Amino acid sequence: MNSFTYTRATTLETAVQDKASAELAKFIAGGTNLTDLMKVNVEGPNHLIDIRQLALKDITDNADGGLRLGALATNADTAYHEQVAKRYPLLAKAILAGASAQLRNMATNGGNILQRTRCYYFYDTATACNKREPGSGCAALSGFNRIHAILGASEHCIAVHPSDMAIALAALEANVNVTGQQGNRTIPFSDFHRLPGDAPHLDNTLQPDEIITSIDLPAKGFAQHHAYLKLRDRESYAFALVSVAAGLEMDGDTITEARIALGGVAHKPWRNREAEDLLTGKSATEENFKLAAAEIMREAKGYEHNSFKIELGKRAIMRALEQAVKMSNKPDSHFHRTSTEPV
Amino acid sequence: MSTEYIGKPTSRVDGRDKVTGKAQYAAEFEALNLTYGVVVSSTIAKGRIKAMDISAALQLPGVLQIFTHDNRPGLAWFDKSYQDEDSPPGAPFRPLYDEKILFSQQPIALVVASTFELARYAASLVKVTYETEPHVTDLNQLRQDAYTPSKYKSAEPTPRGDAETGLAQAAIKIEAEYNHPSEHHNPMEMHATTVAVAEDGTLTIYDKTQSVLNSQKYISKIFGLSTKEARVISPFVGGAFGSGLRPQYQLFLAMMAALQLKRSVKVVLTRQQMFSFGHRPATIQKLVLGAQANGALEAVVHEAIAETSQFEDYSENLVNWSAMLYKCENVQLTHKIAKMDVYTPLDMRAPGGVSGMFALECAMDELAYATKLDPLELRLVNYADKDYSEDKPFSSKELRQCYQQGAEKFGWNKRNPKPRSMREGKELIGMGLATGAWEVKQKEASAKATLSVDGTLQVSSATADIGTGTYTIMTQIAAETLGLPMEQVTFKLGDSTLPEAPLQGGSWTAATVGSAVKQACEALKEKILAGLRSAKDSPFEPVQTLEDVVFTDGRVFLKNNSEQSVSITEAMRLAGENVLEVTITAKPKKNQQEYAMFSHSAVFAEVRVDEDFGTVRVSRVVSAIAGGRVINPKTARSQVLGGIVWGIGMALEEESVIDQQYGRFINHDLAEYHVPVSADVHDLEVIFVEEHDDIVNPIGAKGLGEIGIVGAAAAIVNAVYHATGKRIRNLPITLDKLL
Ligand SMILES: Cc1cc2nc3c(=O)[nH]c(=O)nc-3n(C[C@H](O)[C@H](O)[C@H](O)COP(=O)(O)OP(=O)(O)OC[C@H]3O[C@@H](n4cnc5c(N)ncnc54)[C@H](O)[C@@H]3O)c2cc1C
């Protein structure tokens, strides 16, 4: 770990200014991802701006009927928030499928969607990685790529985005509010993360001087019909091999709107509008789910160790849709804090 | 009586210290003028260091020295000096010896600085240029290069009969290959050494180790120190599982730096560096079983290939289990090893047994289906009533009881024999079983017992407690033997000045050190009696022998007249003794050699497999253990539970993945090296079957540190087959293999 200076930002303006003034500056929120990466010399900021004191922790109603999640609200506080649990249980489930209770207590919403890939090669400075060191190559392409991308990858990078929360936010069509030196702007969630292309070192479209202030959830929460399904190598504390966030609007047996976002398969939360359209106006049958799953995976490409994700992904999509349809609306036991979490 | 402790569930005597943080581990000791060493690790697997630029790092104020192969002090010359008590044949790795790189993450420099953070930063500034050579790190490609070691580290394969003829006669034959990957111990506590240098130059070495004496001998030989100069202390170990059986390189580096700088030095490895030394070797195992139509084995062939390093011939008892576990005339065994550009493998919980019996017990399962026998029935048909490999009777063997009690508790009779026949919704349910065995050994060990006139007893031996509960059971044994309340007894370990004990491994500590503790306390009793005999005002008349008295509740009672008793402290006072002290050495009895001594287990597992996703959940496990006398059912149960959990890991999750491009373990942290988490662990039950054994040792305990893991993985793998009809022979069974 290199030495760095540290300041605590007290206002949004100073935070943004401070960030813009030092090229190697970084914001630190929960620190659960950034400090790990600093310890293994993947991130090397010379200046840390602690933003935890900024007043961005609230979760409030929006005029349009949606909900605003403060960037600095913790993952735990968000998942257990009464309104989130009631109106956006898909999001709550996705958050709670991630990491561990302890990590979720520290992790913030802004930090979560900015967390970096868990690609082994990104983490190990002894290996080639275009994301970590542009131009050095991609060791995963010909290496152990079991956890890597099957959709939207490039010859420069086959890493996947690791966040669970982001997959639900993609399905919910959230908006990310940011503030920079030029003022405020809102980034639709589908434009927030990028595909690697020839610049895999850029995970997203946030500009260097910009800070995430909040995430807006639109009114539609798919509380009646949704599922978050996460498939992984152990029951907890492991990243998704494939995850599916599904949200459906139903009229009787007919699907009137479908949202499907996939995690663990691409450099960003993966959505395919054509596949969703295939389901719109159709009845909720296995055949229709199959068609949608096939459409999503149509252009999927496996590498030496991860081809299984294509079939696994299809099955996961079908199961998630099935669960979303059949959902019973019993209160979910997921939303109770465990004894390790503060109240 | 209130001072009977053996066999009673007893909480850990060190539990409170551990949960309150009072227990100190190697990296937690403070020392005068402490400095911090951080290890720089090689990024290549094979080749040589062409150049090392340490100038930028060295310039930082506060960086004291950067040790490399270029500037290290002269050291012991012969391989012998670097060999330790657990060394396999060969030339041990010498840190910073020369410019050659023998494995990825080889330590190539130690940066010592006034703070940890600075040392860490400076380490990142060390620039190394390498000349790489092609490496080999794929065991699969080395099948043809595998060789028979000129000397086996532990057991030599012991074939018998004529397997070829046996197979020719067999009505039913199965042949299959089973593989499992390298696994790393990954104890919670990273390896660490703090070398404290006092004002007068006295050294105290705090090391994470399974034997302070092993560490002491190692550094004494290398650095030319007397045992008095090299005092090694290791009171608490945060798990080791075998990783502390050999002195690891942080000990060497911390010592070298402390002696050179004449200052205290602390070196702690990172989690990533925990993948830079010994590990369970990957194996490729071929099993051929031939049987009569009724399941009786005609022949067993077990051929294994395992990895070793370029510099040492590591081998373990991998195949001999196939000669002892079942009755069979014809057994053919081979165990070859293949040199890879990795560090030498190292004993890891039940070394060889876990790997070898995984293959054997999966093969037995396959044979059960081929012979259309219940897997349990097949084991009973081939039940070994003696150890056929050595033609010796067992000192005791209650495996039949394990099968019976385990099956009953588990509900084995509810199993539909047909694979893929049991389900609940989308979950396929499977039940599997496996047998386990582990060798019982008693070694030589010494213990010292000191009884004070205030009634407190201190017993000590230079053994270790790696989380197994040694402190507790030794306290129980001492307290019960001398008839004192446990609160008055303390046990000391982990200090090289204490009486000699062997490595803490092989599940022999309870038996070995326990016997010494017991004998030391017996000797104290003699002394107390002798005191009573010589005392003028002894309440006992006439003078008694040990046979005539009972020590309990802090008193000595006359056997034939329990009205007559005297407190132990009073007895000492009467004899004018302030302190009684004995040191004894307990040796295994010769007659042990006439017997085969093993603990056994029968493990029953139920799994639930999602038929679409191939995700496996181990819903239930029952492990029935025949392990002789159980000294402390509470800590014993914990040992077995831990073994089962590790079996879940081995079957479903654990794999140290080598990236072949770099010859490097690539998933080298606990986010990506998966071990079971609580959510993976469901209903576990442990049964200790009654087993009486007078031969294994004076206590009758067989040791329970390892038996719990043996067989657990195979039972789960067999259950997965029963659930899905898919036989997975490559561990771990991750979901992609079942899709
Ligand atoms: C062992 C382990 C397992 C995990 N498992 C999972 C899992 O299964 N699923 C999952 O989804 N996640 C998982 N996580 C990741 C965890 O969710 C993230 O580490 C966490 O969400 C990051 O939030 P943070 O506030 O700590 O971010 P930080 O580490 O503080 O920051 C991360 C990045 O975001 C930047 N940043 C933070 N806040 C802002 C802001 N408001 N504006 C601009 N930039 C900002 C920082 O500069 C930094 O670059 C796991 C983590 C660990 C360590």
Cα–Cα distance between A27 and A46 in angstroms, integer? 11
Percentage of residues in chain A with pLDDT exceeding 90? 94
| A41, A231, A239 member nearest B124 (Cβ) | A41
Q: Which residues of B touch A333 (CB under 8 A)?
A: none
How far is B121 from chain A, CA to nearest CA, in Å? 5
How far is A302 from chain B, CA to nearest CA, in Å? 13
Q: Tell whether the model's pLDDT for residue A256 goes beyond 90.
A: yes
Cα–Cα distance between B124 and B63 in angstroms, integer? 13
* Residue B429, pLDDT score: 98
Residues B425 and B476 in one domain: no
B179 part of a folded domain: no
Q: Which residues does ligand 1 sit against, CB inside 6 Å? A: A 26-34, 36, 51, 71, 75, 98-99, 103, 106-108, 110-112, 114-115, 162-165, 211-212, 237, 239; B 671
Cα–Cα distance between B634 and B475 in angstroms, integer? 14
Residues B81 and B225 in one domain: yes
| Domain end marker among B556, B587, B618 | B587
- Whole-number average pLDDT of chain A: 95
Burial class of B64 by CB neighbour count within 10 A (0 to 12, 13 to 18, 19+): buried
Residues B433 and B534 in one domain: no
Residues A233/B653, Cβ–Cβ less than 8 Å:
yes
- Give me the catalytic one of B303, B439, B691, B706: B706
B154 part of a folded domain: no
Residues in chain B: 739
Inter-chain residue contact B679 with A121, CB threshold 8 Å: no
Torsions phi, psi of B600, nearest 5? -135, 160
Location of structure tokens 């890991």: B649
| Domain end marker among B587, B618, B646 | B587
* Residue B176, pLDDT score: 98
For atom 1 of ligand 1, the residue with the nearest CA is B671
Which of 142-201 (A) contact B at CB < 8 A? 142-144, 146
Q: How confident is the model at residue A339 (pLDDT cuts 50, 70, 90)?
A: low
Residues B183/B653, Cβ–Cβ less than 8 Å:
no
- Omega before B732 within 30 of 0, i.e. cis: yes
How far is B290 from chain A, CA to nearest CA, in Å? 36
Locate the ligand 1 atom nearest the alpha carbon of residue A165 and give its number. 11
pTM: 0.97
Domain boundaries, chain A: 226-326
Inter-chain residue contact A319 with B612, CB threshold 8 Å: yes
Query: Can B4 be counted among the known catalytic residues?
Result: no
Per-10-residue mean pLDDT, chain B, length 739: 92 97 97 98 98 97 98 93 97 98 98 97 97 98 98 93 97 98 97 98 98 98 96 97 98 98 98 98 98 98 98 98 97 98 98 98 98 98 96 98 98 98 97 98 96 97 96 98 98 98 92 96 96 84 82 93 91 95 96 97 98 98 97 96 98 98 98 97 98 95 95 98 98 98
CATH number, position B368: 3.30.365.10
Q: Which residues of A touch B739 (CB under 8 A)?
A: 308, 311-312
Q: Which residues of A touch B660 (CB under 8 A)?
A: 143
Residues B726 and B603 in one domain: yes
How far is B680 from chain A, CA to nearest CA, in Å? 6
Distances (CA, A) of B71 to B4, B260, B261, B413, B618: 59, 11, 13, 68, 53
Tell me: the pLDDT tens digits for A219-230? 999 999 999 999
Two tokens, residue B414: 């509810």
**What's the complex ipTM?**
0.95
B553 part of a folded domain: yes
* Residue B561, pLDDT score: 85
Residues B388 and B457 in one domain: no
Two tokens, residue B112: 């010592």
Residues B633 and B685 in one domain: yes
Locate the ligand 1 atom nearest the alpha carbon of residue A75 and give its number. 21
Residues B669 and B696 in one domain: yes
Going by C-alpha positions, the residue among B375, B380, B382, B379 that lies closest to residue B417 is B375
Residues B305/B283, Cβ–Cβ less than 8 Å:
yes
Domain of B605 in residue numbering reads as 279-441+593-738
For atom 19 of ligand 1, the residue with the nearest CA is A33
* Residue A1, pLDDT score: 54
Q: How confident is the model at residue A312 (pLDDT cuts 50, 70, 90)?
A: very high
Strand pairing category for B445-452 and B457-460: antiparallel
Residues B264 and B284 in one domain: no
Residues B340 and B388 in one domain: yes
Residues B330 and B454 in one domain: no
- Omega before B542 within 30 of 0, i.e. cis: yes
Q: Which residues of B touch A120 (CB under 8 A)?
A: 657, 659, 666-667, 672
Q: Tell whether the model's pLDDT for residue A342 goes beyond 60.
A: no
Which DSSP string do the residues of B408-437 spell out, in sequence order? HHHTGGG--SSTT-EEETTEEEEEEEEEEE
| A127, A234, A312 member nearest B662 (Cβ) | A127
Q: Which CATH superfamily is domain A226-326 in?
A: CO dehydrogenase flavoprotein, C-terminal domain (3.30.390.50)
CATH number, position B266: 3.90.1170.50
B670 part of a folded domain: yes
Residue in chain B nearest A139 by alpha carbon: B661
Residues B347 and B457 in one domain: no
Residue type, B460: S
Inter-chain residue contact A3 with B117, CB threshold 8 Å: yes
Locate the ligand 1 atom nearest the alpha carbon of residue A36 and give its number. 53
| Cβ within 8 Å of residue A78, ≥6 positions away | A59, A69, A84, A91, A92, A95, A109
Inter-chain residue contact B121 with A316, CB threshold 8 Å: no
Residues B708 and B615 in one domain: yes
Q: Domain tally for chain B?
A: 3
Mutating to test ligand 1, I would choose from A56, A105, A114 the residue with most ligand atoms within 8 A of its C-beta, which is A114
Q: How confident is the model at residue A343 (pLDDT cuts 50, 70, 90)?
A: very low
